[in-house]
Amino acid sequence: MSNNNLLLTPLKAGDLQLPNRVVMSPLTRSRAEPGHVPGALIAEYYAQRAGAGLIIAEATMAAGDASAFIAEPGIYSPAQVVGWKKVTDAVHAAGGRIALQIWHPGRATHPLLNDGAQPVSSSDKPIRGDKIRTLQGSHDYPAPRRLATAELAGIVTLFRAAAENARDAGFDAVQVHGAHGYLLDQFLRDGVNDRTDRYGGSLENRARLLFEVVDAAIEVFGAGRVGLRISPLVAYNDMHDSDPRGLVQYVAAQFDRRGAAFLDLRHERHDAPEEQELARIARRAYGGALMRNGGFDQASGEAALAAGAADAIIYGKPFIANPDLVERFRRGAPLAPVDFATLYTPGPQGYTDYPALAA
């Protein structure tokens, strides 16, 4: 097959057999029902996109006091497990494969979204330069509570329970969310983590909580069905790190030692020289399926695969407006534009009403 069709070729990612290398990014869409329960609308949405080599479902709450948006889904209650089982059944019936991204926002939330609970983090540093949206309007991010060392085993327990619930809900895999300035990233990057205990200071210490969570997920799913997302240069949620190259080297090597299924390297822009260098580091350190995400189109995705700089490409916005994205790539068909006004609004508009190509 020519290099112009590499996106359409199969891929083995750990224990996952993917029919193509076009992966759907986890995309928060705020369509859950009361109680953060995924309903029929979410099942329809993901089933429409079952042509993806792998769907990574949106950031999903590991605990009841871990909401950072409005109407995002959870995976901590029996009702949520039942709701997600309907989603996975719909995707599987359509011939697809679906992983769940398990997530805790840490400081990137507000008490108004969590019945008054104060956010928690690696430190007491609040997010600066942005506001958070709640049903009571937009607010500054509050200062989080610094988690005590003795509490961190409980965080791992939350993620383990989320993985167990994801397994019971029929997911093919889980992805640990270690990116975008959420809780695990708040421990990983030294722009936030100023701790002096065994979870702070050195990179090994700062990555400790992340890999305790990864190991818990592996205990539930097996290494061949666990993925990880990191975003060392993404500044979202007031984040930075003093040594992103060292971070990628360490995390990718540790993930490789575990034989885990797929590493999602989230770029600010995939074509930026510093981001390309991170991809080269990850490629050398990690022998599993390297998936890259950050502004790729079909041509640049094909080029990255042809160069050996990735094993799969993760697409976000293109999947929002093009439920049949893989078929459009196959035909060389134009892509529909995204209606940004309806990204987070309730109901089917801008969610399940984007049409597929005519047969």
Residue written as token pair 């809780």: 183
Residue tagged active-site, from 182, 286, 351, 354: 182
Give the whole-angstrom CA distance, residue 197 versus residue 16: 38
The SS3 of residue 146 is strand
Query: Can you read off the two tokens belonging to residue 199?
Result: 């979870």
The question of whether 182 is a catalytic residue gets the answer: yes
* Residue of 68, 80, 173 lying closest to 130 (CA atoms): 68
Q: Give the amino acid at 220.
A: V
The answer to whether the beta carbons of residues 183 and 199 sit under 8 Å apart is no
Give the whole-angstrom CA distance, residue 303 versus residue 183: 33
Give the whole-angstrom CA distance, residue 341 versus residue 57: 21
Give the whole-angstrom CA distance, residue 54 versus residue 58: 13
The SS3 of residue 98 is strand
Query: Can you read off the two tokens belonging to residue 195?
Result: 């701790």
**Count of helix runs (H) and strand runs (E) in the chain:** 11, 14
* Residue of 101, 97, 90, 99 lying closest to 10 (CA atoms): 97
Query: Can you read off the two tokens belonging to residue 144?
Result: 């989080």
Give the whole-angstrom CA distance, residue 72 versus residue 346: 11
Give the whole-angstrom CA distance, residue 256 versus residue 153: 24
The answer to whether the beta carbons of residues 141 and 108 sit under 8 Å apart is yes
Alpha helix segments (H runs only) across the chain:
40-48, 78-93, 152-168, 183-188, 203-206, 208-221, 244-257, 273-285, 298-306, 317-321, 325-331
Catalytic center residues: 182
